[in-house]
Structure 1
Amino acid sequence: MEPTGYRRIGEHRYRELIGFYYEEFAVGMVVEHRPGRTVTEMDNVLMSALSMNNSPLHIDAAFCEHTPWQRTLVSSLVTLSIVGGMAVRSTSGRGIANLGWDRIRLTTPVFAGDTLYAQSEVLAKRLSRSRPGEGIVTSRTTGIKSTGEVVLTFDRSFLVPTSDNGTDDRTGY
C-alpha cells in the first residue's frame, strides 16, 4: 500500500507532497491544518520587537495587571503570523504569489500558553486571465484555540499553478 501525502520517487523512496495544484482545489473544501502551535511569551516578545510594536499591552506585565485581562495579550501580529503560517503548507504550498489578505478579524484575545489550530475553506477559484497555466484561489482561514474559541479569521487569495504548469520535477518537489 502506497502512503498518502507522498510521491514515490524511487524504490523505497518517497518525497513529501506540499500544497495543491489548481485543479485539486474545490469550492467548499475544508483543510484542517496540523500540527497545532502553543503560543509562548517568547513568540510575543520577539514579534513585538521585530515589528516595533511596543504597546504595553504586549510587553509590560505590570501595566497589563490593570487591564481587563490582567495579563499580557499576545500581539495580533503573532496570532496572524502563526495562523497564516499554519495554512501555507497545504493551501499555497505550491503557490507562485500571495495576492492579498482581506477581512482580517480578531475575535478573541490570545495569551501565552494558548494552543492554536487552523482550518481553511476554499471560497472561490478561477483560472488567471493574464497568466496561462495558473489559477487564483481564495480561502477563508480560521484560527481556533484548543478550547474551540475562534480567535482570528481572514480571507486570502493566492496564485497557484495548474498541474500542467507544475515545477515538481524541476525543483525537486
Structure 2
Amino acid sequence: MTNDNDTDAGGEDHDRRLVEGWQGRFYEDFTVGDVYKHPYGRTVTETDNVWFTNLTMNVNPMHFNEAYAAETEFGERLVDGTYVFALAVGMSVIDVSANATANLGYDNVRHHAPVYHGDTIFAESEVLSKRELDSREHVGIVTTELRAFNQDDELVLSLERTPMVLKREFAEPSAAAPTGWPDGIGFQPGAE
C-alpha cells in the first residue's frame, strides 16, 4: 500500500492516516488503587480443560475422568486450577504487562471456588504498589492483585502479580511500529 489516498465506492477521495492503537500501560501510567477491568470474558470449554490437563501431564482424574469426578463432592469434572491461573494472567496482560520486560513473581495464589466447563471467567487487576529501581532506569516494578470471577460474580481466583514494566521514554511507542511490529511493515504514511 503506497498511496495515502483511498477512493470509496462513490468515487470520493479520502486521506489515509495511521491512527495509534492501544500501546499498553507504561510504568508512569500505573497509580496505586487503580482497578482495571480486563476486556473479554472467556467461556471455558471442555476442550480447553482436557488439552491443558494433558499438555501439562496433570494426572488427577478430577480433570479428565467423568466417572471418577461424578463420585466426588462436586459431581462432575473440575477445570484444572493452573488453567484458570494461566487464563486470568493472560487476560490481564493487555492492561498490566504488555510492556513488561520480566514477570518477577506470582504470590498469594488462592483458588476460592471451583471452575466448571461452561463457566465464563472475567478478570480485574488492582494496583497495589509501584517503585523505581536504582539499578535500572528504564523500568519500574508494579505489583497488582489479580482477581478472577465467574459469570455469577463468584470470586474463583486471586493472586499478586509483579512485573517489571518499561518506562514510556525508553519504549518509544509509535503508530507505525507498535509493540511487536518491526519497522516498515504494513501501511506507512508517505511511502511511495
Give the structure-2-normalised TM-score.
0.82
1:105 aligns with 2:110: yes
Q: 1:6-155 to 2 correspondence within 5 Å? A: 11-155=16-160
After TM superposition, what 4+ stretches of structure 1 lie above 4 angstroms from structure 2? none
Segment of structure 1 superposing worse, 12-21 or 103-112: 12-21
Letter of the 1:25 partner, please give it.
F
Give the Cα–Cα distance (whole angstroms) in 1 for the partners of residues 156 and 23 of structure 2.
Answer: 26
C-alpha displacement of 1:11: 4.3
User: Runs of 5+ in structure 2 lacking a partner?
Assistant: 1-14, 179-192
1:26-57: CA deviations, max 9, x gaps? 00000001100000000100110111001100
Encode CA deviations 1:109-150: one digit per residue, 9 max, x unaligned.
000000000000000001122111210000000000110000
SS in 1 for 2:94: helix
Higher helix share: 1
Contact 2:103 2:164 in 1 (8 A): yes
Aligned length: 164
Matched, 1:172 2:177: yes
**Preserved CA contact (<8 Å) 1:18 1:90:** no
Instruction: Indicate if the aligned counterparts of 1:105 and 1:154 stay in contact, CA closer than 8 A.
Output: yes
* Larger-Rg structure: 2
Structure 1: gaps spanning 5 or more residues: 1-9
Contact 2:88 2:148 in 1 (8 A): yes
Which one has a larger percent strand, Structure 1 or Structure 2?
A: 1
Q: 8 Å contact 2:21–2:175 — kept in the other structure?
A: no
What RMSD, in angstroms, separates the aligned Cα atoms of the two structures? 1.6
The offset of 1:14, in angstroms, is 2.0
SS in 1 for 2:78: coil
The DSSP-based 3-state class of the residue aligned with 1:110 is coil
